[in-house]
Amino acid sequence: MAFIAENILGDRALQLGNEEFIRTLSIGSAWRFLRIGLRLAIYGTADIGATSTGTTILKFQIGLCSGTTYPFNSDNCLGYIGYRPNHLSGPFYSGGASNYYTWGTGANVIFQAIKKIGSVVTEIGASGGTQTRIKAGPDSYSLQVADFYRSPTDDTSYGVNPHWVGSGQVNANPSVYSLMRVMEDEGLATAYSTTYVTGGSGPYYQNGITVPLDTLSIVYNRSTPIIEIANICILRLY
């Protein structure tokens, strides 16, 4: 199960390895535009092997589910919307030489917008060729930021728009203040925000989700190297 570690002195972090972390939102499902931001690193620089299809595909997913009893990893999932950076073809992660992991391959699909109801997963591939990166820790962190939308015309339709971290941004080592300032910049276009994240692609919508989405879900399906999350921030923009 997830546990709290302190690999950077004075900076406690949540460690995830082959599990799903869930927390109910204090605002419940009363939102139309929600931003989720993480300050995180992958703990180590070991390569992550090239498995590309089926249940062994590398998963690091940020999303929302309904309640805590039947989240994404449950075959009885009540409802889920999220995203996973694409990596359906090699190469996969190598965190050694450049001290960060590149998520995605520069191929035509840069992330998957994911819906799950019951045991049925539906994925929509977002077009483009942008890669996102995560810092190889544990000495510093990078950001991951994604926007989630509920359609104003269809309450069963949810969209997701991740924002990417480039090679010039991944080593910026944001502070907690940096995360908070980026979270509050709705357009993510100021010079401060673009130090840490870049523009998104989307939102990409999935419909047919009839339950309220009121719970954060973070899925990671590798035991090693673990992911270390120093801060989680969820902001309702409206």
CA distance 7 to 182: 25
CB-based contact 5:11 (threshold 8 Å):
no
Question: What does DSSP say about strands 100-103 and 132-137: parallel, antiparallel, or unpaired?
Answer: antiparallel
H-type helices in 93-203, by residue range? Answer: 176-184
Question: Residue 87: pLDDT band by 50, 70, 90 thresholds?
Answer: low
Rounded to an integer, what distance in angstroms lies between the CA atom of residue 31 and that of residue 37? 16
Tens digits of per-residue pLDDT, 37-74? 999 998 877 777 654 444 456 778 999 999 999 999 99
pLDDT digits (tens, 9 = 90+) for 88-108: 554 456 666 677 777 765 556
Contact residues for 215 (Cβ-Cβ < 8 A; gap 6+): 22, 23, 24, 25, 64, 65, 66, 67, 68, 71
- Which pLDDT value is given to residue 106? 53
What is the per-residue burial (b if ≥16 Cβ within 10 Å, else e) of 187-204? ebeeeebbbbbbebbbbb
Contact 22, 63 (CB under 8 A): no
Amino acid at 168: G
Q: How far apart are CA 205 and CA 115, in angstroms?
A: 9
pLDDT digits (tens, 9 = 90+) for 169-207: 998 999 999 999 999 999 888 999 999 998 777 799 999
How far is it, in rounded angstroms, from Cα 145 to Cα 190? 15
Considering 27-31, 49-53, 128-132, the range whose residues carry the highest mean pLDDT is 27-31
**CA separation for the pair 112, 84 (Å, rounded):** 5
| 154 contacts: CB under 8 Å, gap ≥ 6 | 207
Contact present, 135 and 43 (Cβ < 8 Å)? no
Three-state DSSP class for residue 124:
strand
